[in-house]
Every structure is written in C-alpha cells, then in structure tokens.
Structure 1
Amino acid sequence: MLALMTTYSPADVRAVCKPRDAWWTVLLVDPIACRLVLFLANRTSVTPNQITAVAFLMGMCAAACFATGERGYLALGALFFHLGFIADCVDGKLARVKGNGTVFGLWLDFILDQVRLVVCSFALAFGLVHSTGRPEMAYLAGVIIALDLARYLNGPQMAKVRRTMRYRLMKAMSEIGKEDRGGLDRSVAGIGHDITGEPDDGGGDAAEGKQRKGRIRRRVRKRAVHRGIHGGIAARFPWYHRVRERLLAHRIRTHLISGIEYQMAVFVVAPLMGPTAVPYMVGAFGTLLMFFESLLVYKLWISTRDFGKEMRRLEAQRRSRAEEQLVR
C-alpha cells in the first residue's frame, strides 16, 4: 500500500522563512532557496543533514579554488562559496517545512559553517601570498576570522541581556497585576480594542471571556515591556522605527552589515574583483561590520538605561500598592 505523501505549497515554504533576515539572504538567496526547498520537499526524500553536507562540500571546493590565488579560480571559488551558502539556507527551511529537523542537525550545521569559514579564510590568504608574492597577506586569515568571531560572540551575549530584561520586566508586571488585578483590568479596558482589533462586547461564555482577558493582559504587558526597553530609542531617533518598519515589510533587518554580508563581501564579491581587491574589501567591510556592531551596542546601552528606569518605576508602583493595601 503506497504511503500518502504530503504536498507542500509555495505558501508553506514562505511561512518557514525567517521574519527578519539579512538583505543579502532576502534579495539574493531566498528567491532561489525557496524554489529548491519546494522541489526537494515535494519530489525527493533528501534530508536536511544531506543538504548540510552538500553546503560543506561546496565550501571545500571554494577553498580549493581560493588556494590557487589565480583570478579565474578565485571567481570560481566565489561561485562555489555562494552556492554553498544557498544550500546552507535550504537545509534549515527544508527541516522546518517538513518538520524533520534534529538537534544533531543543528549542531552539525553550526560546526560545519565554522569549519568552512576557517578553511576558506586560510585558503584565501595562502592563495594571495602565492599570487602576489607578499608574505604579509598570510595575516589576512587571522583578520577575517577575528572580525567574524567578534561579531559572533557579541550577538548571543546581547540577546541574552535582552531576554533577561524582558523576563524581569514581565515578572515585575505580573506581580503588580496579581496585587492590583482591578487596575490591570482598567488598563485592558482602555486599550484592549486597540491591541486585539476586536471590540470588547462581553459576548461569549465566562471561560472564553476569561481566556480573552488573559490574552489581552499578556499583550498589554508585552507592549509595556517593549516600551520599557525600546522607548529611549524611539524618543532619541523618531525616524528609526519608520525605517525599521519599511525594511521589515520586506523581511530585511536594520542591521544592514551583519556577518552574512561580511562573509559574502570577503568570499564572493572580493574574489570576483581579483586578488588585489581582497585585502581592501576585508578592511572596508570589516570596518562597516564593526560600525554596525557598535550601533547595536549603543542601542543596547540605551535599552539598559530605559530598563533601569522602568524597573524603578514598577518598584515604586508596587510599594505604593502595598502601602494602600495596608491602609485598607
């Protein structure tokens, strides 16, 4: 008896794309990757781990081409590297759309990505030493890896700080809500329609109404958390959110030069321009990468200041509620 096969649509593939991504991925990779995912999901039994292996193999082919240092092979290496990056984007989408991703697959994808970066960096530097006759080009590998490592280490730490701030704000707001549920309900009544897009007509049974109020409370707190962490950015740079929303409408994040754009500049654009262009591209895009990382750090610093002010305000509010209850 033949097993039923699930048919996936383009909408299914689009649904598993990241809501925010690098502009290089959105504009130059996803149009190809999404079509490949649709074909592989509907017509083959290829697994995400197999695609990860193909991406790594493409990276090693790129490294072999880079190691020659010759202009034609550098261009071929750029092609292999970009094809490997497309495959690297396909494996995650394929895993999400078919639901067959594994924890080991996540580890494998991460490790092979790092190995590919290191091998290609040393291969490119070796090729430049060979083609230019300048031994100082060997240091380029360390520069490429160090800049990417700085970006990689900074990102998770900032995400950890943001998660901690959100958790502490949500916890403080939940405690105040338990002590003064009436006040929270009045807040819900005031902005519930704006958040849910539905009028609060009091219809439905008691259980449904209770669930709806719970959802609204969580959304109220989520909005308050966003205001408590990002309010300073909006006050100082009112244009930022307008630009951000326009970019997000196309799934492009405001961090325009991230690790992806940096790697593509070093391993795709620069080799296409020839051996002499590589060190200049590394310097230029390395500087841009650090500039945008510095902007993220500055934004995080402002958020931590807003977080401190909001926590102090919530603590004062909690104490005021406690004193009122004692008087009663």
Structure 2
Amino acid sequence: MDVVLAELVERGHGLVNRSVVEQVVPAWILQRACTTGELVRVLPEVFAAAHLLDEEGRRAYTSPLGRIGPDLGRRAVGAWIRERGALSHLTALDVWGLRAQLPGDLLHVSAPAGSGLRSWPGVRVHRRRHFSLTSPSVLVRQGLPVTTVERALVDSWPMLSPAERRTPMIRAVNDRLTTPERLRAALDGTTRVPGRAGLSTLLTRLAEGCRSPLEIWGHERVFTGPGMPSFQRQVRVRLGRRTVHLDLYAEPERVNIELDGATTHGDPRQREIDLRRDAQLAALGILVVRFAHRRLVREPETVRRETLAILASRRPR
C-alpha cells in the first residue's frame, strides 16, 4: 500500500474516507489499494483495512460492513453520514451501553428526509420529517452523533422481542440515564409505536417505583388488590454513611418487603450483606420480610396471604 495512504488508514484506526484520501494522493492510489485487496469498501466513500474483516464471517454476513464488527462498523457509519444523520434505534442503545449489538447486526441511522442518505447493505436509514441533528435531539457520545437515550429506547421497543423489551428501559432508569417522565414525553411525541400499550404500562410501573421485572411482576400479581396497603416504592433510608432503598414499604406498619431476584439466590456474600442491612433496619423499628424469586413466582397466593398476615400483626390492636 502507498505509504501516505497507509498512514491515513492508521490515523483512522483502520478506516479511511475517500474525501480525505483525495486531498493528499491521486484517486488511482485508493483504487489500486482496493484492487489489490488491501482496502475494502464497506460504505459509499468509506474503506476499511482488509485485515480487519472477519474472514470466517465471509459466508455468514452479506455485507463487508457486517464483517468488521459493531464498534468499527459504527465508526464507519459515522464517517459516512458526516453530519447528515445520527446513530439511532438499536445502534444507539449500544452506544448508550444498554444493549450490545452483535457482529452482522443491522446498524441504524436516523436522518432528515432531505439528507440524501439511503439504506445500504448493513445499514438501515430511517428518514424522518422535522428531524433535528442538533442538541437536544442529537448528542455526541463516544465521538459519534447519537439520538437521545429516550428516543433510542422508544424507537427500539418494537424491534425487540417481548422477552427483552423491558430490560433496556429498566436499566436506563436504574442507571439514571433517564426518568420515567422523560420516557413518557418521548412516547407521547411519537405517533406510531407498535406495542404502545405494553410500553405505556411499563412506564407507569417505572413511575410508580418498580425497578426490576420481578418488582413489576409482584406489583401486578401479588402486592395490589383487596387488603394490600399503598406501598411506597424505592424509599430512601439512611443507614450510617450509606443510603439504601426499600423495595416495598408500608409506613404505618413499618414493614419493608424485599424481593430477591433469581441471581441473588445462593450467593453467600450477598446474603451476608442483606442480613447486615436487615439488622440495621430492625434497629430503626423496620421489619424486613424477604421473598425469593422462586416463591414469589410459584406461590403468589401464599406470598400474598403471608404478607397480609404480617401487616395485620404489626397494626395497633
């Protein structure tokens, strides 16, 4: 490969744009590197060093873009769109750290209707009217233009299977990347969202304080209805130098219901932490009652009866 071209590829960490190359070397040098197989065109005007392409994936992936992996693929798309669009949908979720894309997954871009961008093998362009490429609609993250986390979550909802839809939403709220209120505003500002009813229900549960699939399940099937108090969710309590959050707190009875997820079962270290926390809360007069994932899911009626009995025993006679 030409020395100058090789230096440009190295500076681009394996990628180079035609417009950059032709500022310093003749066009035929770039063409020769492609002919000899040293560079591969992965997008219009964007080329990648051939050694970065997955040779084993030659048959699995229909486009060269799919063979360079999601990280390099996103950078290639960023070099291609050049202020004409922003990474969006599932690709934006990856940039926000909420759901990783795999090699060969379709990369997504949102662009104004008149941007001139068109879908390409490995990239889907979503053209939108009145789409702004400036803040607050588009932000820069990891050096790439990306739609807001709220926009990415709402856009991705219908693309995900029902089994995995809720996880990125819950994680985004737990990681304080967004709030249920901001997500609701993004949904209200979107006219067509397949599965809107399910998303709306999830946002309601998040606004009520549910912070895990198990808490949502318990809220809908166990801890509501006749006899159940209006539990406060995610109540902040100061224990020494740290602050803890109570899953479900009945203030008049001073009872805290904790729902232990399946991943905590059998973890001795987590068990020790929980016991220490429960003892500190007991010193404040708060009774902690824990229900394991297995019991909550398999014996919901039994858990419900036990909860009602515990609450009744804590009320003044």
TM interval, shorter chain, is under 0.3
Q: Which has the higher helix share?
A: 1
Taking structure 1 as the reference length, what is the TM-score of the superposition? 0.26
Q: Which has the higher strand share?
A: 2
Question: With CA pairs under 8 Å and 6+ residues apart, which has the higher RCO, 1 or 2?
Answer: 1
Taking structure 2 as the reference length, what is the TM-score of the superposition? 0.27
